[in-house]
Structure 1
């Protein structure tokens, strides 16, 4: 048997399931977009899970310099940035309208976000008709905005945390209220309300709040239906090697990391199969075995995770009269969120973990 056949079948098998193994093989525009979802400074951080979740969902963007992406988790965040992230994460449509703040002008990247937040009564400025969009936001200000935003969608019925440095503070009611739902955490017995918040702290607080919204959470059967529809269709199209239809499905049903990984996977598979056919007239067969089991890991009003397990993808490569087969799991925990009011897949725990491992 040709020596390289073993390597070929193994590579195709891995790509068919979780295609990050071929990530470094091609330098394409799609690969460049995918690389933007890896930031070394997001690793081994207390907020890694929050950062990675928001990165996958295109909620938290990184900073690219000399080909290296960073999310600056310990860097401070501005008032305008925080408002934009809250609205983006919560799938709130931003609309341009008149803004009363003299330091927010049409043409500013944050104009629509500030206009929308102001119209909804989430922000009130800093006095003198100013919003101070580029000033750093404090932990107290974050608490106030989150309390206003989630006051109708979260059940604040727990016991308030006792912080020793918020008595008499203008944001004391806000801090105490959202602490009832464990949205904020302090430093031992203090909260440090006047400290500027970091990007990690802001992401963590927003994500906790979004996961606490359960008053309008979807039924499990509905989430499973969305996930099953995408998973089954994508696996079937991959097995049939109908890549154009698979691309259409990916464009229609995914966003963020899931979208870019899906497109990259399709490009790599098409390229590999074409090369195998041209070089050796190889025949590649992809077959799925097993029944998929679906389990809702969690569900809130706007976010959910659904685990899919129990299936294997068998890859068989035949060159002349010699064949080699290999099987790999296609298990995945899909991450879903509301985008324009529709449940959309934005990431996957298994695929993102392998992606990060490869890039590290």
Structure 2
């Protein structure tokens, strides 16, 4: 007729018109990459917009819409269009085909059945599927070798989908780690802060939003810095008679900390007998405490000291000079140290980190470090192979700490959950695992774990699936007070083996 009706502006829209109800469905991606569905009712000469629904999950693209009875399928959603406000978003991939209670979705290059078998998958290279009237399933590969398969029933192509179990576990056992505070990611001291957090030397503060914050630029008190220093040196009890301070009482959270620090001589207090635990620690006080704490562990007096114009010949000058010569402390400017400025939590961590890695004497052997990693990996592998989860728990407790312990514990809990769900697991480590020492000091070591690759087989009844795993990467170890080495952090190498590989089936 020449008349034009503007129905709206859409991005990557897909359309489906229901002849029976004279309803137009428009699906598209909104500006914030959420799937949006617009329902338009045909009134003869014009459409009336009935409803606009934006779904919560982020989507990357929209698949074709499919109408089956009273259900509309689009992207990963099953929408009840019979008037009931029911939305099912259990599908994780675009929908390819629907017939009755069988829904096939596309997961990359894999076609997967959603109902009635949520873990069913077809041939790895299948790219299209069609459910025939006789109930058989036709699968066609668009990519070479461009073959076509006809399945008698869905049982012919079911594979065990481990994603189903892992997603289910994650949704019900979400890992709320305290080791990823959002306020340090872009901080100048990120690497040192992250190291202390991973090693359980620096604790954050849980906020109302559920996140843990470190507040790196917040000033630190004398009691807080003493606690950080005692933890970093792994001191558990006093060394001789501690000094008594008039303002440090039993029952104070810092009482034992100050007792330990004073017994080792790096906490001295003031002439009037007070410690002033809640006063902000000054930069010169911090430098002095570090030098006294590491006097027997670091060769002070070496190196080239910085000549700061604002450091007079007073009680802290020698400590600032010695610490600056070894790079443990630095100035606020090239010529000024700012000794009376209150120190921040980040500055405290950086100074302590540098001191810990300047220690000399009692250096561990390369063999000692390598054996600590090999023994942990081998004994844990044996426990998993035997499905002896109690032994695996003991191995984790004895050989890990901090962030690495949390992550390894999570892996064990997933294995236990799968067994509880009737999924048996067998693993085989490929030969050739190697360990290279990267850096070592009396109490810290960094090693590179290479070729730590595994073949996994998952079975449940007649179903099975295969995958490869690779835990190669950089491990960080810390020597504990009892002399044992524990792994506290890891950075995994990203390889193709990290992706799950499905078992091939003959057809």
Q: Find the aligned partners of 2:204 and 2:418 in 1 and give their Cα distance.
A: 31
Partner of 1:344: 485
Equivalent position SS for 1:349: strand
- Point out where structure 1 has 5 or more consecutive residues left out of the alignment: 16-20, 354-360
* Greater share of residues in strand: 2
Q: Does 1:324 align with 2:468?
A: no
- Runs of at least 4 residues off by over 6 Å: none
Q: Find the aligned partners of 1:270 and 1:110 in 2 and give their Cα distance.
A: 40
What are the Cα deviations for residues 227-279 of structure 1, in whole angstroms up to 9, with x where unaligned? 2111211133234432221111111222222222222221122113432x2xx
What are the Cα deviations for residues 8-53 of structure 1, in whole angstroms up to 9, with x where unaligned? 656499x8xxxxx98843337xx45xx1222111212111111111
Q: Does 1:143 align with 2:287?
A: yes
How many residues get paired?
A: 338
Partner of 2:135: none
What are the Cα deviations for residues 84-107 of structure 1, in whole angstroms up to 9, with x where unaligned? 111111111233965421000011
More contact order relative to length (CA 8 Å, sep ≥ 6) = 1
Flag the 1:250–1:244 CA change in 2: closer, same or farther, 3 A: same
Deviation at residue 181 of structure 1 after TM alignment: 1.2
How does the TM-score come out when normalised to structure 1?
Answer: 0.85
Cα pair 1:5 1:324 within 8 Å, conserved: no
Flag the 1:12–1:37 CA change in 2: closer, same or farther, 3 A: farther
What RMSD over aligned residues (CA atoms) do the two structures have, in Å?
2.7
How does the TM-score come out when normalised to structure 2?
Answer: 0.62
Q: Does 1:91 align with 2:234?
A: yes
Equivalent position SS for 1:237: helix
What are the Cα deviations for residues 65-98 of structure 1, in whole angstroms up to 9, with x where unaligned? 2222101111111101111111111111233965
Q: Does 1:263 align with 2:409?
A: yes
Q: Mean Cα displacement is larger for which, 213-222 or 71-80?
A: 213-222
- Point out where structure 2 has 5 or more consecutive residues left out of the alignment: 1-110, 114-118, 122-158, 495-507
Q: Does 1:113 align with 2:257?
A: yes
Q: Does 1:208 align with 2:208?
A: no
Flag the 1:137–1:314 CA change in 2: closer, same or farther, 3 A: same
Flag the 1:195–1:326 CA change in 2: closer, same or farther, 3 A: same
Matches within 5 A, 1:186-201: 186=331, 187-201=333-347
Q: Find the aligned partners of 1:300 and 1:51 in 2 and give their Cα distance.
A: 19
Partner of 1:334: 475
Q: Does 1:155 align with 2:299?
A: yes
Match of 1:174 among 315, 319, 344: 319
Q: Larger radius of gyration, structure 1 or 2? A: 2
Matches within 5 A, 1:9-48: 11=163, 24-27=170-173, 31-32=175-176, 35-48=177-190
Q: Does 1:68 align with 2:211?
A: yes
Partner of 2:309: 164
